Structure 1
Amino acid sequence: MAEKLPKGYRAAGVYTGVKRNPTKKDLSLFISDRPAIAVGVYTQNLVVAAPVKLCQSRTPAKSILAVVANSGVANACTGEQGDKDALFMAAKTAQTCGVDPEQVLVMSTGVIGEMLPMDKISAGIDEAFPLLNTDEQSLVDAARGILTTDTVHKIKTREFEIDGVQICITGVAKGAAMIGPNLATMLALILTDANISADDADAGLKDAADESFNCISVDGHTSTNDTVLLLANGSAGGPQLSGPALAKFQATLVEVCEDLAQSIPADGEGASHLITVEVHGCQTRRDAVKIAKTVADSTLVKTAIAGNDPNWGRIVSAAGYAGIEFDPAKVSLLVNGMLLYDQGQPVKFDEAAVSESMRSQRDTGIVLLMDGGEASARFWTTDLTAEYVRLNADYHT
């Protein structure tokens, strides 16, 4: 599906000089033409960046009109001046766009501990405002303005119809490393023209994040700036969604969030595989998530996948130390659809074929069958390569 903005939104992305590379945009502006409901979910780190504190203080809200975001400098661990700079970003955006400062949300990402160059940020907001547009390129420019070490921009759009009303949900995101729930070193902004209540938006985003952004990990590092915002401006028209219509919206929101969530570890720094860990047959979803996350976070599992090694013992043993009770004699394991371990015992399999299936494609699927209940979960991660170590050893913090 083509990348597009929902009705009633405009976007722009520019280069301000915050980043050293002038070919990379570093400031994004998103505008709703009418007051939008806004809700958010945020980092679980006790060290919270200034823009996160600002957004937390302003959401949930019913009249947000703008979101301004920068990349290159995170405005984290910057003390009282950082808080003032986040407020300035909101105030400057409000002045330029002709709205109230309280109607602006702020996101930042990049190097921790450096002060924002506010002269460049201010000039960038002035530059972005006349460029605001509804076309696909403007959306792409804005999506690129929030990237740091990402190699590709991340945009996902889904449309559906309810009682003759066409509804669109589009999300943009950034993230490639320092990824670990809750949330990750990531920003995401999800825009919809659906007519939904603030309570439904708040509950819906939390549920969608639990199914998606809180089920990704690259290195288990929860950052200071993690933010997911959802704006709903009702521009599609029609009555406020409820009942089956609201359920359809929620299902689509989860799909958009899952699409974005998968794209983050898929773009993981130095990664050669995107790993999907599925766990089925647990007593509760929480148990399934815990097992899946433990497997996904295992350094030995990650390095085995990097080496295209179907080392099933590492996977089974990781499940065993997840802290969840299960019957080891009932556990089965498949890798890329091939059975490696069945009902607590190894089975004969073509090791070369499994290894080649890992080597020949970026996606690797791990499926654990626990046979202890009806609950299941999925978790996405990457392998661990020497290139990941090199990139993060060289990255200035």
Structure 2
Amino acid sequence: MAINLTIPKMVFAIEGIEIGVTEAGIKKENRKDLTVFKLDEGTTVSGVFTKNLFCAAPVQIAKKHLLLGKPIRSLVINTGNANAGTGQNGLKNAQTICSSLGNLLKIEDCQVLPFSTGVVLEPLPVDKILNNLYKAVLKSDKNNWMEAAYGIMTTDTIPKIFSEQFTIDQKVFTITGISKGAGMIHPNMATMLGFIGTDIGIKQSLLDKIIKDLADKSFNRITIDGDTSTNDSFIIMATGKSKIKLESEHDSNYHIILDALAKAASDLAQKIVRDAEGATKFITLQVEKAASKEEALAIAYSVAKSPLVKTAFYASDPNIGRILVAIGYSNTNIPINKVKIWLNDLLIVENGELSKFYTEESGKKVMKQSEIVIKISLNNGYFAEKVYTCDLSHDYVTINSDYRS
């Protein structure tokens, strides 16, 4: 069951983006599994992708199409099959889908970005996609963001969507985005797909920089099980339909817009953790007073990835020594006698040893909560970082052992 995951009451359309969703029967019948985005001329698009060496065929094609520099006019997303580990046939199939959609929309195939998610090392049922692309195109509508959020789900239990309107100098701009992911989550990036649209006009070179900064603070700050997938992709589409334009980091509105986009990316990333496979608790690792960003992240991830820590939280068992152990093997050189650790507001470790004020009863009370912050102060510098994770339950094993059935 998702942890405090909410669906927005109002979902705002993005002028310049239309979405069509249909059923292609890729893995299961009567399930929305094929989504097409249509983008108006003038839209700038940028993306970041998985660093897995076995990156999927659609990732390879999408990266190639972006590098060609022609305006991207469409995205196509299928669930039920990852088209990864499929060799030259996989590349050919991804390219064929782009060509077919390009013909339907009267654009070049290099103006289409393909995305897939699902089981790895299985041939893509490309004919099912090709035979149903036209249905998705016919259903295109600017108000189909929620349909798309459902259409890209795999083991997700709830659609993940962000939608807000913001105001700058009495001018309104909109940001709406969707994401999917529940397992095989760990940078770089997680097994997720994320798509954010905005009606701001953003210069291409600037958008290319912005998306890397956003990914670093959002989708690259989550971990569920330590696995990095083959298909991870995060895309931003800026249509320029509002009266707000962004040309440079020196623009007066730059940080306001960046903060709004960061809010969307962080929300969508955290929703992935909140809907993690079998999770019952949402955990924030907050490392403070580190000597460097790298030191803070090394310790945060060491604790966040520990199966022993995660299973203890699932059981609400205050076996807090597991946190100390995970910090100790993080391959950092910290002054251990200065370390302090809190569970929410409860001080559990002081000067590298058990706090004299801590009791097991108080620890258990905190660990029973659905949202927990593990704050670690290193007293070794001025850097701070956050990583988001969850507990590890019996249901995680059940879901993944039955994934292909």
* C-alpha distance in structure 2 between counterparts of 1:58 and 1:165, whole Å: 33
Q: Equivalences for 1:26-175 in 2 at 5 Å?
A: 26-59=33-66, 61=69, 63-135=71-143, 138-175=144-181
* C-alpha distance in structure 1 between counterparts of 2:326 and 2:317, whole Å: 16
State the Cα distance separating 1:340 from its structure 2 match.
0.9
Residues 62/290 of structure 1: CA separation in 2 closer, same or farther (3 Å cut): farther
Q: Equivalences for 1:265-280 in 2 at 5 Å?
A: 265-280=273-288
Contact map agreement 1:178 1:220 (CA 8 A) in 2: yes
Query: Of residues 358, 366, 378 in structure 2, which corresponds to 1:370?
Result: 378
Q: Name the SS of the counterpart of 2:309 in structure 1.
A: helix
* C-alpha distance in structure 1 between counterparts of 2:103 and 2:201, whole Å: 28
Gaps of 5+ in 2: 1-7
* C-alpha distance in structure 2 between counterparts of 1:262 and 1:311, whole Å: 26
* C-alpha distance in structure 2 between counterparts of 1:10 and 1:235, whole Å: 13
Alignment pair present for 1:351 and 2:360 = yes
Query: Of residues 304, 307, 313 in structure 2, which corresponds to 1:299?
Result: 307
Q: Which sits farther off after the overlay, 6-15 or 145-154? A: 6-15
Residues 62/95 of structure 1: CA separation in 2 closer, same or farther (3 Å cut): closer
**Residue type matched to 2:146 in 1?**
V
* C-alpha distance in structure 1 between counterparts of 2:323 and 2:247, whole Å: 43
Q: CA RMSD in A?
A: 1.6
Gaps of 5+ in 1: none
Measured against aligned partners, the alpha-carbon deviations of 1:285-314 in whole angstroms (never above 9, x if no partner) come to 121111101110011111110111222211
**Residue type matched to 2:92 in 1?**
K
Alignment pair present for 1:215 and 2:221 = yes
State the Cα distance separating 1:344 from its structure 2 match.
2.0
State the Cα distance separating 1:238 from its structure 2 match.
3.5
State the Cα distance separating 1:196 from its structure 2 match.
1.3
Measured against aligned partners, the alpha-carbon deviations of 1:318-363 in whole angstroms (never above 9, x if no partner) come to 112111221111111111221111222312224324323332x322
Measured against aligned partners, the alpha-carbon deviations of 1:179-206 in whole angstroms (never above 9, x if no partner) come to 1111111111111111111121111111
Aligned to 1:240: 246
Query: Of residues 180, 200, 210 in structure 1, which corresponds to 2:186?
Result: 180
Aligned to 1:333: 341
State the Cα distance separating 1:263 from its structure 2 match.
0.7
Contact map agreement 1:35 1:62 (CA 8 A) in 2: no
What's the % identity of the aligned pairs?
Answer: 37
Contact map agreement 2:183 2:277 (CA 8 A) in 1: yes
State the Cα distance separating 1:316 from its structure 2 match.
1.7
Aligned to 2:4: none
* C-alpha distance in structure 1 between counterparts of 2:109 and 2:70, whole Å: 14
* C-alpha distance in structure 1 between counterparts of 2:160 and 2:348, whole Å: 35
Q: Name the SS of the counterpart of 2:334 in structure 1.
A: coil
* C-alpha distance in structure 1 between counterparts of 2:78 and 2:376, whole Å: 40
Contact map agreement 2:173 2:244 (CA 8 A) in 1: no
Contact map agreement 1:195 1:240 (CA 8 A) in 2: yes
**Residue type matched to 1:351 in 2?**
E
**Residue type matched to 2:258 in 1?**
Q
State the Cα distance separating 1:171 from its structure 2 match.
1.6
The count of aligned residue pairs is: 393
